[in-house]
C-alpha cells in the first residue's frame, strides 16, 4: 500500500508543465549573448557580460528589450554583442536501417 507521505508533491505529479517547456513548444530557443562593454569608470577597460534567456530567432525580442534597457539605464557603453541560438526541441533524426543484427 502507498501512503500519501510516499508520493512526491512536485509539479510533475500534478501534470503541470513548466513555462520554459511551453516556450520551447511555441518556437522559442535558448539564446546566449556575450556582451562586451566599456567600464563607465575606466573607459579603456573592456568587460564581458553573458546574458541567457529563451528568445525567438531571428528578431530576438527579449534580447532587444534587454539591450534597450542597458543603453537607457546603465552607464557602460556597448562595444559588441555576439549571439548564439539553439532550438532545444527539434524534429527527431531517424534513419531507417534495413538489416538484422544478432548478439550472441
Structural contact between residues 16 and 22, judged by C-beta atoms closer than 8 angstroms: no
pLDDT in tens, 67-103: 999 999 999 999 999 999 998 877 665 566 666 666 6
User: Domain for residue 43, yes or no?
Assistant: yes
User: Domain for residue 73, yes or no?
Assistant: yes
- Quote the domain boundaries for residue 49: 22-85
**Spatial distance between the Cα atoms of 59 and 83, rounded to a whole number of angstroms:** 11
pLDDT at 53: 95
pTM, entire model:
0.70
For 45-72, letters b (16+ CB in 10 Å) and e give eeeeeebebbbbeeebebbeebbeebee
pLDDT at residue 8 greater than cutoff 60: no
Domain count, the chain: 1
User: Domain for residue 51, yes or no?
Assistant: yes
pLDDT in tens, 39-77: 999 999 999 999 999 999 999 999 999 999 999 999 999
Cell numbers given for 69: 534597457
Structural contact between residues 79 and 38, judged by C-beta atoms closer than 8 angstroms: yes
Structural contact between residues 36 and 83, judged by C-beta atoms closer than 8 angstroms: no
Amino acid at each position: 500500500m502507498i501512503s500519501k507521505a510516499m508520493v512526491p508533491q512536485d509539479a510533475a505529479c500534478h501534470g503541470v508543465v513548466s513555462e520554459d517547456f511551453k516556450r520551447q513548444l511555441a518556437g522559442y530557443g535558448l539564446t546566449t549573448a556575450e556582451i562586451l562593454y566599456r567600464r563607465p569608470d575606466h573607459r579603456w577597460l573592456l568587460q564581458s557580460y553573458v546574458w541567457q534567456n529563451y528568445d525567438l530567432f531571428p528578431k530576438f525580442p527579449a534580447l532587444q528589450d534587454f539591450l534597450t534597457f542597458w543603453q537607457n539605464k546603465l552607464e557602460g557603453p556597448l562595444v559588441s554583442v555576439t549571439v548564439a541560438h539553439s532550438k532545444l526541441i527539434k524534429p527527431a533524426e531517424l534513419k531507417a536501417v534495413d538489416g538484422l543484427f544478432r548478439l550472441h
